[in-house]
Amino acid sequence: MATALGARIDSIADIFFYIVLLLVMFLKYQWVFTENVALFLAILSIKLLSMIVSKMKFGKIVFLHTIANKVTGFLVFVAVPTVMLTEKNSFLPALLCIALLAALEELLILLKEKDVNENRKSFFVK
C-alpha cells in the first residue's frame, strides 16, 4: 500500500542515504568527484532548483518517485560497491548522465504540473 506518509519517509531516507554516501565517497574516493565534477555540479544544481520550484509552487519540497529516479537509485547501489572493489570509474559517467536526465525530468514535471503527485511515473506517463 502506498501512502503520502510512506512516500515522504522514503524521500527523507533517500536524502540521508545520498548525503552519507557522498560524504563517504568524497572522503575515501575523491577521484570520483574530481573526474566527474561537471556532472555532479549539474545534477546538484538541478536538484536544488527542483526543490526551490516545488517549495514555491506547492508550498513544500517535493521529491518525485519517477521510474528514472528509481533506476538511478538502483544503479547507485551497483556503482558504489563496484567503485570500492575495482577502484575504477568505468560506468560512473554513464550513471551520472542517467541521474542528470532523471533530475531534468523531475524538474520538468514540477514546472508543468498544477498539482503535485509524488508517485508520478514519468514526464510521459501520469
Instruction: Give the position of cell 508517485.
Output: 119
Judge whether 73 lies within some domain.
yes
For every one of its 126 residues, what pLDDT tens digit does the chain have, with 9 covering 90 and above?
Answer: 577 777 778 778 888 888 888 888 888 888 888 888 999 999 999 999 999 999 999 999 988 989 999 999 899 888 888 887 887 777 888 899 999 999 999 999 999 999 988 888 999 887
**Among 115, 112, 116, residue whose Cα is nearest residue 124:** 112
* Whole-number Å distance between alpha carbons of 53 and 6: 22
**Within a domain: residue 12?**
yes
Residue 117 belongs to some domain of the structure:
no
pLDDT of residue 1: 56
User: Are the beta carbons of 64 and 57 closer than 8 angstroms?
Assistant: no
Q: Crossing angle of helices 92-112/67-86, nearest 10°? A: 160
Q: Is residue 125 part of a domain?
A: no
**Cβ(122)–Cβ(68) under 8 Å?**
yes
For residue 31, what are the CA distances in angstroms to 10, 23, 50, 57, 62? 30, 13, 27, 37, 31
- For residue 53, what are the domain limits? 4-112
Is residue 105 one of the residues assigned to a domain? yes
How many domains, in total, are found in the chain?
1
Q: Which of 123, 112, 14, 116 is nearest to 62 (CA)?
A: 116
pTM: 0.84
The span from the CA of 115 to the CA of 42, in Å, is 26
